[in-house]
Structure formats: structure tokens, C-alpha cells
Structure 1
Amino acid sequence: MSLFHLILVAMVQGVTEFLPISSSGHLILLPSLTGMADQGLAIDVAVHVGTLWAVILYFWTDVKQAVAGLPRALRGKVDNAQARLAMALIVATIPTVIAGAILHLTGLSSAMRSVAVIGWTMLGFGLVLYWMDQKAPQSKTAGDWGLRDALVMGLWQVLALIPGTSRSGITITGARHLGYVREDSARLSMLMSIPTIIASGVLLSLDVAQQADMQLAKDSAIAAVFSFFSALLALSLMMRLLRSISFTPFVIYRVILGIILLVIAYA
């Protein structure tokens, strides 16, 4: 891959991973709309690793609490805030891991990678996000997050396995439906992304382990670095904006892009 292609893929992934506009949808569309070759699974893994480190760094305080509580959570003891956070993240991740493994093993995940599917999910779930964001109360904060709400948000997250849905978008939608304030809806969504990205990265890594070579390793490292910095910038910008605006600007983008994609798919 050329350096330009690597940087483009990395920046698309980094910018869209945590915004509610679907990173996987944009990565699938990139070769379709530009004529460039598909970047392949190895680069997909690399850019996800980059975004993983970005979200860990940005939410380092929360991550430290979850890691500190993980041993107690694994023993079934949720008697402090750290253990409750760790257990909630585990519960929120399980539905997606199970559903993702089923889709991967059956090949259904590849079957859904089409412009038409992305167009419909981009449009439809964008409107669902708008409805929830406008109608749901803002009565809960991240401190109220418990196992029940974590499971509900985890079930919402399963829908993100459909390309174009947006993992962050659908989990934010679920959080707003439960009544969480906008900023904490995004915060919980981002924390949920950490074990989810790790799980998907491990799954994808098993597929690319046999094809690794020195040039591919270099390309992957470049992609990971650029996705890290672009993700960190996009994440910081979104969290600051949510202190004063709603999710409407992201919904408008989704609706416009969804309509364009549907026109392309059915023209």
C-alpha cells in the first residue's frame, strides 16, 4: 500500500471510530467510492489498535478503576466502585462477542458489507439516535451505571455488527434511551468500546496471523500511529462539543450520507 493510502485509511478510521457515524461503514465505502484496493484485515486490525490506545489514554482514570476492579469482578465480588465498573463492562461486552463470533463463523458479516446496507443503517439508525436524543430525559450520570443498564446497552451494541450502524452511535442511542446525560452517554459508550475493540482485534488477528510479513508489519505500524492521533483528536473534540450541543449535527451527516448511498446503490 502507498503511504497516502495508509494515512487515508488510518485517518478515516481514527476520526469515525468514536463519532456516531460508523467507522466500519466508512472503511467499507472507501474502496468502493475511491477505486482504491481494499486495505485488508491486517490494516483493519492495526487501525483498531491505534484507536484503542487513543480511548485508553483519553479515559485513563476510568480505565485504571476498571482494571483495579477486574480481579474482584472475576471472582464475582462487586462490592466497590471499581469492581462494579469492571463487571458492567464485562456484561456489556458479552452479547456482542457471542453475536460477533456467530456472524464471523457463518460468513454473514461479509454478506452485509454492501453500499445498500450501509445506506439504510446510516439513515435509519441516525434517525433513531435523533429521536432518542430529543425525547429521552437526561436524568442519569455515569455513576448510576449498573449491571442492568450495562446489559441493555450491550444488547444495543449488538446492532453495531451491521455495517453502517456505528458502535458508538448505537450505544449512545441506548444510553440516551435509558436517560443518561449526553456527555456521560458518550463516556459510557467509549468505555464499552475498549473490551469490544480488544475482542474484535483478537478475532481478526487470528485471520491475519499467517499472512504477516515485514512490509505488512511496517504498513500496520504506520496505520496504527496515524489512527491513534486522529482518534484522539476526534474524541477530544466530540466530548468538548457535547457540553454545549446535542447529537443533531452527527444525525444530519448520517442522513445526508445515507440518502446519497441509497441513490448510488439503487440508481
Structure 2
Amino acid sequence: MADFFQAVVLGLIQGLTEFLPISSSAHLRIYPDLFGWGDPGAAFTAVIQIGTELAVLLYFWKDIWRIAVAWLRSLVQPEFRGHRDALMGWYIIVGSVPIVVLGIALKDVIEKDFRSLWIIGTTLIVLGVVLGLADRFGRNEKEIGRIGLRDALLMGLAQALALIPGVSRSGATLSMGRFLGYEREAATRFAFLLAIPAVIGAGVFELKDIPGETNPYGWGPTIVATVVSFVVGYAVIAWLLRWVTTRSYAPFVAYRVVLGVVVLVLVGTGVLAS
């Protein structure tokens, strides 16, 4: 029963933090250690993220369906190749390439070295400051319809930084989007769409390691955590999209910096093992 209780808590953490620019993978590494549960592992983290991405699929199903249909039609009907939705499909594919390539190439490093709390505490602080600067100086002049190939690739490269826990997939993508001049809502929506192939792909890729040497949870707790993350994640999407239309990312920046400092102090004083 203890495993299932922990799974519910970890699913709740995943659902609350996946879409906020505060790094869900960092939270799934930090808080289990604080609770004395140990590191749940990269495989468990990747698989339960499928739940939050299913929430994205459900929330944006009309947009995703429209983009998918237009993209598929563009493959066989030349008149659709310049269609805005067809191009968006290509932009999502192109933007997903960096994280897929680097995720496969750096798999061993990601699952071991990158999970050090020294690295996580540092990236929470550094990327928090970057997000704050991007939000402060970014221009609100571009809507999501103005995304082009260059911007999609740049945001995809930024997303790839999230292979390091503590960076935050949404935080890195939002930061790049804001630096490129996109409105908060536009950058947030594209970050949601861009994450779908990478997160679902990574989760499916890691299914073979449930359970495994680096994953203390079996199939039952993993499925429970995934379901919880789906339900909570859906609610967070709706809340965040309303938030960014009128408010800045400042509270998330402050939270990242404070959490990063606390983690480094706890590791430095021996309270947590790095």
C-alpha cells in the first residue's frame, strides 16, 4: 500500500508541475528524497509524464485534430502544403527533433549524472533567472500564427535543455518564445503542442524499464501515478492559460530560485545526498 500512496503523491506532483515553468522532473527528484522515499528513477518519471500529455491531447484535441488532418492532406494534396495548420504540423515535428536526438544520444548520462541534486539546484536557479529576464524584456508582438521554421527550431533547441532535470521543458520553451517576441499565451500554447511528441515518445521508450534496476515502482503504482497526473494536469492547463493572459511568470521565477537555493543548502549540509 505504501507504494500506491507514494504513487498518488508523485502523480499529484507531476500533474501540478509539468506545465508550470518549474520543472516536474526536478520535483520528482527532490521531494521523494525529502520524504525519505529515494529517487523514483528516470523511467518512472518519463512514463507518468504520459498522463499529463494525454491531458494536453484532450484539452487541445480540436487544434491537434485540425493540425493533423491538414498536415496529412498536405502530403498528398499540393494545395494544402502552404496551409497554416499543415505548416504548424511541420513546425512541431522540426521542433521535436533536437530533444529526440539528444535524448537517445545522452540516455545514460540523463538517467545517472544529470540527476545529481547539485545540477538540479543550479539549473533551477539559473534557468529561473533566464525565464525572468525573458519575461521582463520579451516583446508582446507575436501571436502563435506567426511562428515560422526558424522560431520552431529555436524553441525546439530550448526544449531539449529540459533533458537536464531542473531546466523545465515548458520554462525553457517559454523563455525562448518570450525572447523571440511571442505573447505569453502564444508561447505557452506552442510549448504545450511541442511537448507532445517528445514526452509521449520518451514515456513509451521507457516502458520497458518498468520495473527495472533504476525504477523502484512496479506497473500498478506507475499506472496509478499516471492517471493522477492526467487528472491534475488537465486542471492545471486550464488554470495556466487563464493566468498568462493577464499576469507574468514572476511567481514561478521566485519559486525556482528559492527552491534551488534550498536544495543546494540541503545538499551542502549533508541533509540530502546529491
Q: Tell me if both proteins adopt one fold, taking TM over 0.5 as the criterion.
A: yes
Q: Secondary structure at the match of 2:106?
A: helix
| TM-score normalised according to structure 1 size | 0.91
Identical pairs, percent: 38
**Counterpart in the other structure of 2:256:** 254
- Match of residue 243, structure 1, among 233, 242, 245: 245
Say which SS state the counterpart of residue 112 (structure 1) adopts. helix
1:251 CA drift (Å) = 0.5
* 1-structure distance, mates of 2:232, 2:57: 14
Structure 1 residue identity aligned to 2:72: P
Which position in structure 2 is the counterpart of 1:139?
A: 141
Which is worse superposed, 53-62 or 242-251?
53-62
Kindly provide the CA deviation profile for residues 233-254 of structure 1, in whole angstroms up to 9, marking residues without a partner as x.
1121111111111000110110
After TM superposition, list the pairs within 5 Å mapping 1:1-267 onto structure 2: 1-40=2-41, 43-72=44-73, 78-104=81-107, 106-208=108-210, 216-267=218-269
Q: 1:229 is aligned with what amino acid?
A: V
Which deviates the most, 215-224 or 179-188?
215-224
Look up the SS of the partner of 2:159 in the other structure.
helix
- Partners of 2:165 and 2:47 in 1: CA distance: 19
Whether the 8 Å contact between 1:47 and 1:223 is mirrored in structure 2 is yes
Q: Distance in 2 between matches of 1:224 and 1:34?
A: 20
Distance 1:59 1:116 in 2: 36
Distance in 2, Cα, partners of 1:207 & 1:46: 10
Q: Quote the Cα distance in structure 2 between the aligned partners of 1:40 and 1:109.
A: 7
Contact 1:129–1:251 (8 Å) recurs in 2: yes
In the alignment, structure 1 segments of 5+ residues that lack a partner are none
Deviation at 1:4, TM superposition (A): 1.7
RMSD: 2.1
* Partner AA of 1:16 in structure 2: T
Contact 2:55 2:230 in 1 (8 A): yes
CA distance in 2, matches of 1:254, 1:30: 14
Structure 1 residues 219 and 109: alpha-carbon distance in aligned structure 2, compared to 1, 3 A threshold: closer
The 10-residue stretch of structure 1 (47-56 or 11-20) with the greater mean CA deviation from structure 2: 47-56
- Figure out how many residues of one structure are paired with residues of the other and give that number: 263
Structure 2 spans left out of the alignment, 5+ residues: 270-274
C-alpha contact 1:14 1:47 (8 A) present in aligned 2 = no
Alpha carbons 2:25, 2:45 under 8 Å: kept: no
Is the 8 Å Cα contact of residues 93 and 154 (structure 1) preserved in structure 2?
yes
> After TM superposition, what 4+ stretches of structure 1 lie above 4 angstroms from structure 2?
72-77
